[in-house]
Structure 1
Amino acid sequence: MLGSAPSMEKTTRKLILGLVFLFPGLPVAAQQTDPDVIWKGDFEAGASSLTGHCSAGDDQWCEVETIRPQQIQVVADPVAQGKYAARFEVKYGDLFSYYSDSRSLMTGPPALWENEGNERWYRWQALWPQDWVGSYPKWDQLSDPSARSWAGSLVEWHHDANGGVEHGSAPLYIGAGDTDIWLCLVDQATSECREKISLAPLQRSHWHDFIMHAKWSSQPGVGYLEMWIDGVNVLPKHLTPNMYPGMRNYLVVGLYRNSRIGDPTLLYPNGQHVYGTGGAPGVAYLDGIIIGKTQQSVLNERPWGTPAPDAATSDGGTGSPGQAAPDADGGTGPQVGVAAMGYQLPGGGCASGGAQLAWLALPLLALAFTRRLRKLRTSLPGP
């Protein structure tokens, strides 16, 4: 037996103080939020993250565009960081208000609106499950097997007419097809992609880590985008207009696709259902969304190159999300750190965080003591 709790705590404190003395570079406190962070939408407030955060200075999300509760849920599994992530599901019939097309979307507070000339850094993690369907037969060109409709964007920057009339599709969409992650820059006049760029191969059931650097402008030669996925610069600085003249951009997240996808009444000439009879539900996940003024401000949440955990998720809209998360004050989601690893101590039993730190510290202290003793001996005069 190692001893009573008070004696163990005393021993732990001594060992930690010894470590700090011997290794002054060790961190002793959690890093504070970078002052250049503008906003976080990381779902860490649990289910209450999704709505109601509509005032200047608020983190998390303001409004959802849904008609059923299964469309957007906060879940404890899978997650890329922290305790919670968001699960998005869209299927045939998910039409919100008077808006076009099927959608499961969220918008945030005023901090997410971008004016001409703003320069911003964005970071988020996205996961498309193993059974993700990235494209569907185009409903009005069924005789052409090559004609496909995308299965939905997951992140977009929409346009706001500053009190005027909005027209055309959003200026920028990011999503996943059957084999790749793509970016679409839209021609306002046609609502079609004037550029569709393949960014990286899609790895299903893998948390892709995105970083995007944008200077927002409607002017050629002024606006630009840069993109990293999983630490790889997949889009070097790309000069291009990325907003519409006289309009602002604002961040929208969630699945958005053509309203005809999943129509159970649509048949091929032989009578076969084009999309099946279940509405062709699609599912994807987001986590860790953050906006900052500098690259470092969005990197501080997770050091560069530290991979997000993979998740063996197979959930292409089968209605089987991970455990729904309660609000943050009652959450018991997964934790990361020494205290959550449950090291097995000699003699059995699952150690508390303090005892774990003590056992981890002992080898380091012994090594440091041995080196100092050896140095002391070599410095003493001989006989």
Structure 2
Amino acid sequence: MFGLPHTRPGLPAVLLTVVLTMAAGCTDGRSLPLVKAESMFIGDYSTGDFSQWPSVQNPSYNGPGVDYRPTYSATVVDDPVKGKAARFEVRSGDWPGFATGERSDVGSDASATGGTEGQVRWYAFATMFDPSFPQNHADLGWGVTNGWHPNTRIGSAGFEWSVGTRNGYWSLVVDEQTSPGVYVGDRTIFETPLNVGHWHDVKMQVNWSTGVRTGWIRLWLNGVR
């Protein structure tokens, strides 16, 4: 699931591309062999709408992106840097009547994005926070911009980008679970200032595993490891 469920206006534009890299037999976090990458899913809004996304959820809609008609909750805009991008906005009370909390998000599924035991996957996306975005979001409550949720109704995202962890920062949080909903603990493994009005270009390489000594995440922000 990708998007921002929370209760303040002026939320981020999000551009997303997901790429698969096959890396069989490499699960220890050391250097991976150079192999050809195969794109599994692209959700960069280059179509000018939400048709690339299997799911759009906000207070006015819950269904496939191909049938979504934009509202303030989620719309495609022209950006001078990225071209087409999606702008998400959540207002107080924007609870769609299902799941938890106010939200406006798009989502894909495990068949496109991967995430089973032993898989290594690349994810790349860009996020920009509106200049009006609150710098004290952690005081206001939880907020998630990008999450990798289990393919089940049980359990939280295994890891997610949060604006509700530390005021003024965008945080990558790991929520350890031995299986969906069976929690070990959570911790912030990286954070960066919100830097409102500027794009954060993110690339992540993930080795998926329920084993704390097996799974790992590599991260590049704006081209820097």
* 2:127 matches 1:126: yes
On the 8 A contact 2:131/2:196 being kept in 1, the answer is: yes
Residue by residue, what CA displacement relative to the aligned partner does 1:194-219 show, whole Å, maximum 9, x if unpaired? 21234223311001111111001101
Q: Which residue of 2 aligns with 1:135?
A: 136
Residues 151 and 192 (structure 1), Cα distance of their counterparts in 2 relative to 1, 3 Å cut: farther
Q: Which residue of 2 aligns with 1:96?
A: 96
Provide the secondary structure at the position in 1 that maps to 2:104. Answer: strand
Residues 154 and 93 (structure 1), Cα distance of their counterparts in 2 relative to 1, 3 Å cut: same
Residue by residue, what CA displacement relative to the aligned partner does 1:95-137 show, whole Å, maximum 9, x if unpaired? 1232111111111253124211110111111101222114357
Residues 223 and 169 (structure 1), Cα distance of their counterparts in 2 relative to 1, 3 Å cut: same
Provide the secondary structure at the position in 1 that maps to 2:130. Answer: coil
Structure 2 residue corresponding to 1:156, chosen from 142, 147, 153: 147
Provide the secondary structure at the position in 2 that maps to 1:115. Answer: coil
Provide the secondary structure at the position in 1 that maps to 2:174. Answer: strand
Structure 2 residue corresponding to 1:41, chosen from 37, 40, 43: 43
Distance in structure 1 (CA, Å) of the matches to 2:149 and 2:213: 21
- RMSD, aligned α-carbons: 2.4
Provide the secondary structure at the position in 1 that maps to 2:220. Answer: strand
Distance in structure 2 (CA, Å) of the matches to 1:208 and 1:222: 28
Q: Quote how far apart the aligned CAs of 1:169 are.
A: 2.1
Residues 149 and 195 (structure 1), Cα distance of their counterparts in 2 relative to 1, 3 Å cut: farther
Residues 125 and 66 (structure 1), Cα distance of their counterparts in 2 relative to 1, 3 Å cut: same
* 2:172 matches 1:183: yes
Q: Which protein is richer in helix relative to its size? A: 1
Letter in 1 for 2:88: F
TM-score of the pair, normalised by structure 2? 0.68
Distance in structure 1 (CA, Å) of the matches to 2:182 and 2:135: 23
Residue by residue, what CA displacement relative to the aligned partner does 1:62-83 show, whole Å, maximum 9, x if unpaired? 111112321111111x3542x3
On the 8 A contact 1:134/1:150 being kept in 2, the answer is: no
Letter in 1 for 2:100: S
Q: Which residue of 2 aligns with 1:170?
A: 157
Distance in structure 2 (CA, Å) of the matches to 1:191 and 1:93: 29
Q: Quote how far apart the aligned CAs of 1:183 are.
A: 1.0
Distance in structure 2 (CA, Å) of the matches to 1:95 and 1:116: 33
Letter in 1 for 2:199: W
Of all paired residues, the percent bearing the same amino acid is: 26
Distance in structure 1 (CA, Å) of the matches to 2:80 and 2:183: 34
Distance in structure 2 (CA, Å) of the matches to 1:193 and 1:133: 27
Q: Aligned pair count?
A: 174
Distance in structure 1 (CA, Å) of the matches to 2:102 and 2:81: 26
Spell out the pairing of 1:34-113 with structure 2 (5 A cutoff).
36-47=38-49, 50-51=50-51, 60-68=52-60, 69-76=71-78, 78-81=79-82, 83-109=83-109, 110-113=111-114
Distance in structure 1 (CA, Å) of the matches to 2:136 and 2:183: 19
Distance in structure 2 (CA, Å) of the matches to 1:224 and 1:184: 13
Spell out the pairing of 1:1-383 with structure 2 (5 A cutoff).
36-47=38-49, 50-51=50-51, 60-68=52-60, 69-76=71-78, 78-81=79-82, 83-109=83-109, 110-136=111-137, 148-150=139-141, 152-161=143-152, 166-176=153-163, 177-188=166-177, 194-233=186-225
Q: Quote how far apart the aligned CAs of 1:185 are.
A: 1.3
On the 8 A contact 1:119/1:216 being kept in 2, the answer is: yes
Distance in structure 2 (CA, Å) of the matches to 1:135 and 1:198: 18
On the 8 A contact 1:63/1:107 being kept in 2, the answer is: yes
Q: Which segments of 5 or more consecutive residues in structure 2 lack a partner in the other structure?
A: 1-35, 61-70
Q: Which protein is richer in strand relative to its size? A: 2
Q: Which structure has the bigger radius of gyration?
A: 1
On the 8 A contact 2:173/2:187 being kept in 1, the answer is: yes
Q: Quote how far apart the aligned CAs of 1:171 are.
A: 1.6
Provide the secondary structure at the position in 1 that maps to 2:103. Answer: strand
Residues 184 and 193 (structure 1), Cα distance of their counterparts in 2 relative to 1, 3 Å cut: farther
Residues 61 and 227 (structure 1), Cα distance of their counterparts in 2 relative to 1, 3 Å cut: same
Distance in structure 1 (CA, Å) of the matches to 2:94 and 2:189: 28
Residue by residue, what CA displacement relative to the aligned partner does 1:18-47 show, whole Å, maximum 9, x if unpaired? xxxxxxxxxxxxxxxx76222211000012
